[in-house]
């Protein structure tokens, strides 16, 4: 058993918080994946922060896997339909950049991110849509760009084979006192009820450090999860990919996705 560990919202806008989260993981012997945003809210272009990019490159040298995490990480210029609003309800404060995008729009944004990363010397293994919200078009866009891994808040997807690995995720929200208390309680519940999940994830956000309750909960949960289970690289999941039906796969299938539930996977 192991745990997939990541730091979201890696951007110069959150520099001190991201570095603290990185330290918390490293002090516990773990190397988290880094979810890097090319231009946070249109105001923090990575291109203008060479020292910060160098910090990220050094972490990659330390073994951190790099993910592309949106382009701007907001919904500016992207009106929601009522259906999008329903889907995003309670899940994000207008940060679902990929929530409304079809294949072509997702392909273009991801493409610009990959061009930038190549310029900056960063090699991403995959893509994570902000707030874990996207449509099928983002899945096909990732596959078309050759990105190996995509995740949302219920699963990790291996794009080459369309494999879906069911994967609960521990995350916090410290936006209000109420949410902070709720997420600390949920963290304790996940330990009791999901510590046997084969693809368990812990997703750290810079904001987690801003509220004393979520900050303490992050520290407590990192302590017990990382003592019990080593952090695992996303790349280590790639051999778990199940071939698509017709190529010898035996998973259940919906919309071209092969589902691997915890019961049938190792
Ligand atoms: Zn994010």
Domain boundaries, the chain: 3-239
**Statement: residue 189 has pLDDT above 50:** yes
Output the CA angle 85-87-91, nearest 5 degrees: 90
pTM: 0.90
Distance 127 CA to ligand 1 centre (A): 11
**Statement: residue 258 has pLDDT above 80:** no
The string of pLDDT tens digits covering residues 33-43 is 999 999 999 99
Res 260: pLDDT: 61
CATH classification code of 3-239 = 3.20.20.370
Higher per-residue pLDDT: 95 or 259: 95
107-116, 173-182, 245-254: range with lowest mean pLDDT:
245-254
Distance 196 CA to ligand 1 centre (A): 26
How far, in Å, CA of 240 to CA of 7, rounded?
23
Per the DSSP assignment, residues forming a β-bridge with 10 are: 36
> Contact 137/237 with Cβ under 8 angstroms?
no
Res 87: pLDDT: 86
Per cent of the chain over pLDDT 90 is 77
The string of pLDDT tens digits covering residues 111-129 is 999 999 999 999 999 999 9
- The band of 240, judged by pLDDT with boundaries at 50, 70 and 90, is low
14-18, 96-100, 154-158: range with lowest mean pLDDT:
96-100
Give burial (CB, 10 Å; 0-12/13-18/19+) of 92.
middle
**Statement: residue 8 has pLDDT above 90:** yes
How far, in Å, CA of 85 to CA of 117, rounded?
31
CA atoms within 13 A on the CB side of 95: 17
Give burial (CB, 10 Å; 0-12/13-18/19+) of 28.
middle
Cα 127 to Cα 24, 54, 113, 148, 251: the distances in Å are: 24, 20, 10, 8, 24
Distance 254 CA to ligand 1 centre (A): 27
**Statement: residue 71 has pLDDT above 80:** yes
Distance 6 CA to ligand 1 centre (A): 11
Please give all residues whose CB falls under 5 A of ion ligand 1, grouped by chain where several chains appear: 8-9, 130
25-34, 35-44, 174-183: range with lowest mean pLDDT:
174-183
Rounded to the nearest integer, the mean pLDDT of the chain is: 90
Res 107: pLDDT: 98
E strand map for the chain? 3-10, 33-36, 39-40, 44-45, 66-68, 124-127, 149-151, 155-158, 163-166, 169-170, 200-204, 252-254, 257-260
73: number of Cβ within 10 Å: 25
Q: What does residue 32 show for φ and ψ, rounded to 5 degrees? A: -80, 155
Q: Which residue has the tokens 């951007």?
A: 11
- The band of 254, judged by pLDDT with boundaries at 50, 70 and 90, is very low
**Statement: residue 109 has pLDDT above 70:** yes
């Amino acid at each position: 058993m192991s745990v997939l560990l990541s730091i979201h919202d890696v951007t110069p806008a959150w520099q001190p918080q991201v570095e603290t989260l990185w330290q918390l993981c490293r002090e516990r012997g773990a190397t988290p994946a880094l979810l890097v945003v090319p231009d946070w809210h249109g105001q923090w272009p990575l291109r203008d922060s060479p020292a910060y990019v160098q910090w990220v490159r050094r972490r990659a040298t330390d073994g951190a896997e790099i993910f592309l995490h949106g382009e701007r990480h907001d919904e500016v210029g992207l009106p929601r339909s009522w259906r999008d609003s329903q889907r995003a309800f309670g899940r994000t404060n207008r940060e679902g950049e990929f929530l409304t995008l079809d294949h072509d729009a997702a392909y273009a944004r991801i493409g610009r991110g990959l061009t930038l990363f190549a310029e900056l010397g960063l090699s991403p293994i995959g893509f994570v849509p902000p707030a874990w919200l996207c449509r099928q078009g983002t899945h096909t866009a990732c596959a078309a760009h050759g990105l190996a891994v995509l995740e949302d808040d219920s699963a990790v997807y291996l794009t080459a084979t369309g494999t879906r690995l069911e994967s609960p995720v521990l995350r916090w929200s410290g936006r209000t006192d109420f949410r902070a208390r709720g997420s600390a309680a949920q963290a304790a519940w996940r330990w009791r009820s999901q510590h046997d999940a084969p693809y368990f994830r812990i997703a750290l956000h810079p904001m987690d450090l801003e509220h004393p309750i979520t900050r303490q909960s992050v520290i407590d949960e990192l302590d017990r999860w990382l003592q019990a289970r080593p952090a695992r690289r996303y790349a280590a999941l790639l051999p778990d990919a199940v071939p698509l039906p017709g190529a010898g796969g035996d998973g259940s299938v919906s919309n071209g996705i092969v589902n691997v539930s915890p019961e049938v996977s190792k």
